[in-house]
Amino acid sequence: MQTGNFVEGKVVLVTGAGGGIGREFALALGREGARVIVNDLGASVTGEGRDVSRAQAVVDEIVAAGGTATANGDSVSDWDGANRMVTQAVDTYGRIDAVINNAGILRDRFFFNMSVDEWRAVIDVHLNGPFYISRAAAPHFKAQQSGSYVHMVSTSGLIGNFGQANYSAAKLGLTALSKSIAMDMAKFNVRSNCISPFAWSRMIDGMPTETEEQKARVARLQRMETSKIAPLAVYLCSDDAKDVSGQIFAVRANEIFLMSQIRPLRAMHTAEGWTPQTVAERVMPAMKPSFYKLDRSQDVFDWDPV
């Protein structure tokens, strides 16, 4: 592993870094000179079990290549655990410069069959967890007048997908949390951004391949290596990104997208005020041509990755 210096000396906490995209983040940060806290609970894709050896294995890779890293096995969905991660970074390396909120689980189910436990488990990891980690790091970022948050979101929330009401809601909520952090922390020179990744990992390894369309989609995803996401994440943790905040990016193989944010699309007004009848007669016919379809991610990104 060739060591660079793009984030030389920075201390970065990466959650869910025992495999997949998080592992690639940790390895890339190590190559570029960062000191990395490699967090991973070691749970299954659905959140069961615990095994810190996955995080330690990534630490061993970084250290063997000449980098600096430490393992952490706390859960992001636990407030005390989140604080222990940040405290470990500060106690071990003297500071914390960036947080990458990457940890995730899936409990996919159509909305009408989704249990309360399936809802809560995903919200805890994908929305509460990033809040806990980000909030724990905030006093340190404020005190040193610098810091970077990178949150992993999803087109399941930004656009939509079947069978992922819990995941979609959490990821869109995380997008809003990132924007709020960016605004609240701007005066302390702290920035917050989102990355929506397209990549093949164990999180989506169980996708159905029953139809030809499903098989083709999986084949496309398998060409999108997790390592392709890392360069943007490393950049967002660096001082070169000091003027980049409140943005949503997507990465698909060799493509990087700047995603839109919700803004007014059409408007109508009347001096008399509206009634249900005038809404039906005037507003809806005028606005219907601009209605969004019930698109899924693959409907919007319908060309092969570059």
CATH code at 164? 3.40.50.720
Number of domains, the chain: 1
Residue at 1 is within a domain: no
Residue at 6 is within a domain: no
β-partners of residue 195 are 152, 249
* Residue 273 φ/ψ region, left for φ over 0, alpha for ψ in the -120 to 50 degree band, beta for the rest: left
Residue ranges making up the domain that contains 238: 11-258
Residue at 273 is within a domain: no
* Low-confidence winner among 44-48, 103-107, 250-254 (lowest mean pLDDT): 44-48
Residue at 294 is within a domain: no
pLDDT tens per residue across span 255-285: 999 999 999 999 999 999 999 999 999 999 9
The three state secondary structure string of 125-140 is: HHHHHHHHHHHHHHHH
pTM equals 0.91
Dihedral (C-alpha) 239, 240, 245, 249: value to the nearest 10 degrees? -130
Confidence band of 224 (pLDDT split at 50, 70, 90): confident
Q: What percent of the chain has pLDDT over 90?
A: 82
pLDDT tens per residue across span 147-166: 999 999 999 999 999 999 99
The catalytic residue positions are 167
Residue at 268 is within a domain: no
Whether 1 shows a pLDDT value over 60: the answer reads no
pLDDT tens per residue across span 191-213: 999 999 987 655 455 555 677 77
The CA R_g of the chain, rounded to the nearest whole Å, is 21
Residue 127 in contact with residue 177, Cβ under 8 Å? Answer: yes
Residue 192 in contact with residue 183, Cβ under 8 Å? Answer: no
Residue at 254 is within a domain: yes
Residue at 111 is within a domain: yes
Residue at 267 is within a domain: no
